[in-house]
Structure 1
Amino acid sequence: MASCGREPEPVQSVPPLFQTHGFTLTPDYIVSGADTLCFPSSRAEKSGFSVTTSSQSFNYLAALTAADSVAVNMASLSNWELSTRIALGDAWLYPERSMKLLRDRVRGGRVTTLEQIRQYWPMISDCLAWIPAALEIYRATGDKKWLREAADVSLSTLRREIAVNYIPETGLFRSVPVYLLTPASHFAPWMNHADILQTYTLFNNVMAVKAMESLAQMNAALNRPPAEDIDSLCRLVSRRVATLLWVPDKGYFSEFLYGGVFPVQSRIADNMAQALTACLGAVYPPLASSAVSRTPRLPSGMPLTSPLMNPTDEPGSNPVSHALQSFWAIASLRAGNEASFNHALGAMALAASADDFRCDGAMSRLMLKGLLGLESTDTAVVFHPALPSWFSGVTEFRKLTVRDCSLDIRIKGHGNMVSEILLDGEPSSFCGVPYTQKGNHTLEVVLESSPRWAKSSVNITDSVGYATQSPQVFWCNLSAEILNFRQDFTYNIYVDGVLYDRTSSRKFNLPDTHNFTTVNLVSTGSGKSTGLAGRTFSYFPPRTRFVVPADTIEPGIKGRIRTVRNRRGRVIRRFREPHYVRMPSWRSALRFSFNASEEGEYIMRIVYITPAGAVPSSGFPMRRISVNGGVEGYAVMPFVRAGYAVESSPVRVPLVKGRNRVELAVDADASMLPSAGEFSIKEIVFVRLP
């Protein structure tokens, strides 16, 4: 008999927010636990901050908040890890503790790196990340004494970094963050410390821009005159980041420029730096939005680099991987990209499901800077809330302390556009509170979705792939042969840092030139995967490279005569050892003259050795280079294996025709730099630039 009853309607399936490797996160993910995320507080802190949401999927991460503010050895965190944690959350929840932690990083009136990596400064430098964090603490507390202290430290730290690491010819800061060197190197195998030092990373330049902006805001709050040279430099570096480090056909940022005197742009993305660029608002918003939607990512989360440089770059395999996912969640909300946020949140949940989530403040910064969109200004806290479409009902943020104000925030709906604001029940046109507000207040906000929010996209691929191998090239003048040639690869030829040609042949020739020229080769695979260039080839036509040996620098001093004997003791050869100019840290300035055949700009390098028994100092040995009375920069001599002759970092110097007076000296302001360090000079090389 046929049934006369009505057929039940099919259950509407809800698409998962995140799905990979047997793990699925849906909007109705069933878990046990409270629906309120409480952030631990102490007697010394005012915070009793909590977040209540009706979204069960989001509540799945509630258990993570217990470890969000404790159980992490803060003293072991690098400057950038500690400072970003403070700037993106802890400054508002735990201001007193954050202030103490930043004070502990100051030595001699400036920020210093961790002791474990201090000997590698200025190659590894993350000191500038301290400055935006210090400003955020002031805005959270209003403590003028702290502001004056932070402004003085910030100015001293910036002056040192500008003097040593800012290179005017590129308009960018050199040096690298520590996560690109450990636990695995993200540089080509041929690159030694001197080569890595000549790298202009997205991370360090974004931090430099934010540091200079923060110092300007500190000076304004203290009614101090602006440091006009630093303000002008800030605008210049910001423009250079948007042009030199942007990859137009990819739609995201390059990790760095590298390769020496004429640097080449890497087409690999550093996803940690890209996320922080968006989180800190350091670049033009459309560029950040493009990077969020177009950067390739894996189903299991965002890798550290795209394409992968090492197996440890995969999600969950790197010590900073879990912080990386939370940064991308914030960046996605700031860029108005719900699909990207869902993917980043799913990657965090996947890590939590495996009991392998090292949050390091992930939840607090996701709440404050992501969902609530907290932005501190000179006079007020402004909110730019963004909630995904699967958030239903009301989301409440309780007891957010803004100086002398305790604020409860109730957000209805979802999206990233504010349609209605009520402050203590009264209509308001301002989604925030001024710092002068006191007492307990309630802010109610109604959200709706923007067209971009609903149409957001994300670039998820089953395999981001690994970077291609760096080409190994044999050169004979300007004729080249690729030793590890592959027929399915295309090779881009860069001459003086600019793309010159492409080849699919094992051998190729370049036209003759009368100028100093550098050449780099980058391989591109069949799937358009790319890697880093092979060793930079430098071509020196006649009368472009000039060598000043140690015997000329210290005339009249000869190396010792060595005798070589056979097994019977018979002398078979005598030779004179090359003379080296010893440069101990206590030595006074070394002065010599160089006769230039032509006026123009030259590259100066010191060929040096590290003497046996030399003790690493609190930074690489360096000397200030002056030519004809003008300071031109700093030559840095990274420590190398004793007895091996290598070249220092280059310094551009202007020379006049005829005699030029050159001086190598320890900086007159000894407090600016680490101890000078010891090395021995074999020769000094000058190369005339075109």
Structure 2
Amino acid sequence: MRCLTYIFMTLVLILATGCGHDYVEKESIHTCSEYEVYNDSIVRGEKIHTALSPTEIIGAWRMPDTTKVTPAYSSSQMMADAIFTKAMSETPAFTPLEIYLSLGMLRPEESIKALREIANRPIPDNEDFPCSTLTPYWALAAWETYCATGSKQWLKEAYNLLGKMLSRQRKLTPSQLQGFMCGMPQGVTDPASFYPEWMDDMARFETIATSVNITRANSLSIASMMAAELRLYAERELHTEASRLRNLINDRLWFPDLQRYSQYLYGSFYPIISPVSDNEANALAILTDIATPEMSEAIVASLPYSPSGIPSTVPAFRPDTPLTPELQALFAVSAAKVRNPLAFTLASASLWNLSVSTPAPALWPAAVLKGMFGISLSPAGMTFSPMVPTAFPGEKRIKGLRYRNATLDVNILGTGDRVASFKLDSVSIDNHSVGTDISGHHTVTITLSGNDLNCKPLKIEETKIIPALPAVNWSSPFDFTITNFDRRLRYGVYINGVMEEAISSDHHSVRQTGLTVTDIVPMLSADCAGYTPKPHVYIPPANLITIPASSITPRRPPRHFIKDPATATNYIELAARHNTRITCYANVPDEGDYLITIGYSNGTDRCALRTLDVNDRYAATLLFPPRKALDWISVYPSTTAEIHLKAGVNKLALTYIQGTILFNRLTLIKR
């Protein structure tokens, strides 16, 4: 019988899709060259997945008849119901992202347990490098679970755990630009799809990533709200720090012309802004209110979308970059927040297509709960701010939604985002919310006015690919040639972080006075540019001070690491038992800001850490990551810190935190 039903549904769909383009335009939720999405089916070329019921999608998934999910979702779109049931029946990993998106609301006790385990995991040797030390979405997830449960015990525990994370990040990963944090986003699993090819781990670590800094700003903001709930004095200080970082992000990482955020600042000494946008960071900025309401609307309305969904980066590194279901869910919720029905529909259709035959727990439920139903949790209660596009008509119902001591059935009638009526058990509620003191079983009925959600058509275009990295030959410190010059491109020449001019020839000369960092950026159009090759750094001899290991006493040449006596004398072993604190003196001609790096070797597999004191005051924590196993000869630069020195003699000291290194030289560069 099931086989006959499948054949019948397939024939119906083939006939429907074969009746002409106009019919598809009217009946489909979304159509592109890769797939077509209908209320009850998804077509991928000759393959058709049809939702027969909320518990079965032909050719993709079927749930055992004895299994039930809570809450259950029902609507006029059978595929929406089936994708919801499928997601709810799958086993989640309880990542902070899944918890923030929906599991904190749906399964708060299990989510709290998972967040506690994540925060209390032992710190691995190389946790400090190259990724940021602050776990993305952890603070958002912790706050969501507190609002879902009202547990003061969990609030106190979460506040203390978050405080430790923030303190560790503040100590380990401040950037060269005051106020920002450096570190590679933890979600980047393939550096080749996020960074230019010349970058090594150190260069990637020292970028100022938008997502890393949004995560920190939001974590500070949530810590402030937690402190307020606990009536702690730290509330104001945390809020001030969060606001300061939010302003920095919006000042330095926002593209005014393109109306979206860049992925990071990168490069040596004078970082420049990446021409690529990280769309997860853009969604995160919207959802955490780092972006203003006007900026949030602009991001969703003006972002270039691919026909099949929301790409990871704009422009892309390569044409075959796959879409991720997590990003589609984040953008669906973001689009609902800014009232953009077209973006919500595209993200939802893409999410259905990506999750119809592969596991995607927590994602479509998030788009339903936080998107269409507009549910948000706070210490005061559960608030509803629905947004239902015309592509999803008919009644929608969530049955068995648990909230603290209550179970809710929530019905939405109509489309639009204006609430004509909001009733709790037939009693009108003006603030469209449910209080924390509710208990028992209740029904929420929301009627929407059917108002138009006016917005401009989305910018949907084929994926643009970033221009090739320029191959640059420097014939002198001042003159360069672009050996792979492309006549279609212009090349932006940046001097010390500022674009001085755009050139259209393969030869050019730059003026250099003092410390000069030159970047060369290929530009195809206003919204499609590439990366600079490795920055060209010119340091006048007068701006450079080097203190070699051989000039520092007392010393301990590392003969057990380097057998040759002449070579070993160029190094000092800094370890747990030897030279745990080493001091040297720098005589500088002028007071001012200097960049400091330590030349070192590290042949272990552990990232070494040292604090830097300048004139007996803490200045920074420097990282010395391993580069090549058992290689104690090759010298690499540590992370860079900016310090202020007085004219004359300055005392510089490195103090052991962890790991063994061989100190080779200290370098100071005057700004």
Q: TM-score range by the shorter chain?
A: 0.7 to 0.9
Match 2:344 to one of 328, 341, 344: 341
- Determine if the alignment matches structure 1 residue 684 to structure 2 residue 660: no
Match 1:182 to one of 190, 200, 203: 190
Q: In structure 2, what is the Cα distance between the partners aligned to 1:17 and 1:261?
A: 49
Query: Helix, strand or coil for the counterpart of 1:216?
Result: helix
**Alignment check: 8 A CA contact 2:571 2:664 kept:** yes
- Determine if the alignment matches structure 1 residue 305 to structure 2 residue 313: yes
Aligned counterpart, 2:103: 90
Shift of 1:143: 1.1
Counterpart residue identity of residue 386, structure 2:
P
Distance of aligned partners of 1:558 and 1:420 in 2 relative to their CA distance in 1, 3 Å threshold: closer
Q: In structure 2, what is the Cα distance between the partners aligned to 1:499 and 1:55?
A: 52
* Pairs within 5 Å for 1:244-283: 244-283=252-291
Q: In structure 2, what is the Cα distance between the partners aligned to 1:12 and 1:164?
A: 55
Shift of 1:64: 2.7
Shift of 1:298: 1.6
Counterpart residue identity of residue 597, structure 1:
P
Match 1:332 to one of 335, 347, 354: 335
Aligned counterpart, 1:545: 544
**Alignment check: 8 A CA contact 1:607 1:647 kept:** yes
Match 2:594 to one of 581, 599, 602: 602
* Pairs within 5 Å for 1:636-655: 636-641=623-628, 642=631, 643-655=633-645
* Pairs within 5 Å for 1:116-127: 118-119=126-127, 121=129, 123-127=131-135
- Determine if the alignment matches structure 1 residue 392 to structure 2 residue 393: yes
Q: In structure 2, what is the Cα distance between the partners aligned to 1:449 and 1:191?
A: 52
Q: In structure 2, what is the Cα distance between the partners aligned to 1:181 and 1:585?
A: 33
**Alignment check: 8 A CA contact 1:188 1:470 kept:** no
Shift of 1:470: 4.4
Query: Helix, strand or coil for the counterpart of 2:102?
Result: helix
Counterpart residue identity of residue 85, structure 1:
E
- Determine if the alignment matches structure 1 residue 501 to structure 2 residue 501: yes
Match 2:148 to one of 135, 140, 145: 140
Distance of aligned partners of 1:558 and 1:122 in 2 relative to their CA distance in 1, 3 Å threshold: closer
**Alignment check: 8 A CA contact 1:36 1:50 kept:** no
Shift of 1:66: 4.6
Q: Deviations over 1:622-642 (max 9, x none)?
A: 211110011111111121122
Q: In structure 1, what is the Cα distance between the partners aligned to 2:627 and 2:520?
A: 26
Q: In structure 1, what is the Cα distance between the partners aligned to 2:608 and 2:431?
A: 53
Q: In structure 1, what is the Cα distance between the partners aligned to 2:164 and 2:502?
A: 46
**Alignment check: 8 A CA contact 2:253 2:264 kept:** yes
Counterpart residue identity of residue 155, structure 2:
L
Distance of aligned partners of 1:178 and 1:576 in 2 relative to their CA distance in 1, 3 Å threshold: closer
Aligned counterpart, 2:181: 173
Q: Deviations over 1:59-82 (max 9, x none)?
A: 3524532544x1x455xxxxxxx1
- Determine if the alignment matches structure 1 residue 666 to structure 2 residue 656: yes
Counterpart residue identity of residue 341, structure 2:
E
Distance of aligned partners of 1:609 and 1:556 in 2 relative to their CA distance in 1, 3 Å threshold: closer
**Alignment check: 8 A CA contact 1:131 1:154 kept:** yes
- Determine if the alignment matches structure 1 residue 34 to structure 2 residue 42: no
Aligned counterpart, 1:516: 515
Q: Unaligned 5+ residue runs, structure 2?
A: 1-21, 43-49, 57-67
**Alignment check: 8 A CA contact 1:471 1:523 kept:** no
Distance of aligned partners of 1:348 and 1:482 in 2 relative to their CA distance in 1, 3 Å threshold: same
Shift of 1:29: 4.7
- Determine if the alignment matches structure 1 residue 100 to structure 2 residue 113: yes
Distance of aligned partners of 1:265 and 1:527 in 2 relative to their CA distance in 1, 3 Å threshold: closer
Counterpart residue identity of residue 682, structure 1:
N
Aligned counterpart, 2:402: 401
Distance of aligned partners of 1:526 and 1:497 in 2 relative to their CA distance in 1, 3 Å threshold: closer
Aligned counterpart, 1:78: none
Aligned residues: 626
Q: In structure 1, what is the Cα distance between the partners aligned to 2:253 and 2:246?
A: 10
Q: In structure 1, what is the Cα distance between the partners aligned to 2:284 and 2:352?
A: 21
- Determine if the alignment matches structure 1 residue 627 to structure 2 residue 614: yes
Aligned counterpart, 1:288: 296
- Determine if the alignment matches structure 1 residue 18 to structure 2 residue 9: no
Aligned-residue CA RMSD (Å): 2.8
**Alignment check: 8 A CA contact 2:481 2:508 kept:** yes
Aligned counterpart, 1:205: 213
Which TM-score applies when normalising by structure 1? 0.85
Query: Helix, strand or coil for the counterpart of 2:31?
Result: strand
Which TM-score applies when normalising by structure 2? 0.87
Q: In structure 2, what is the Cα distance between the partners aligned to 1:606 and 1:627?
A: 14
**Alignment check: 8 A CA contact 2:132 2:169 kept:** no
**Alignment check: 8 A CA contact 1:112 1:118 kept:** no
Q: Deviations over 1:266-286 (max 9, x none)?
A: 110111222232233332122
Q: In structure 1, what is the Cα distance between the partners aligned to 2:372 and 2:621?
A: 45
Amino-acid identity (%):
22
Aligned counterpart, 2:249: 241
Q: In structure 2, what is the Cα distance between the partners aligned to 1:630 and 1:440?
A: 61
Q: Deviations over 1:401-450 (max 9, x none)?
A: 22122222211111122232222212221111121222222222122355
Aligned counterpart, 2:60: none
Shift of 1:489: 1.5
Aligned counterpart, 1:459: 459
* Pairs within 5 Å for 1:387-536: 387-448=388-449, 453-474=453-474, 476-513=476-513, 515-525=514-524, 529-536=528-535
**Alignment check: 8 A CA contact 1:623 1:664 kept:** yes
Q: In structure 2, what is the Cα distance between the partners aligned to 1:155 and 1:621?
A: 23
Distance of aligned partners of 1:365 and 1:11 in 2 relative to their CA distance in 1, 3 Å threshold: closer
Counterpart residue identity of residue 549, structure 2:
A
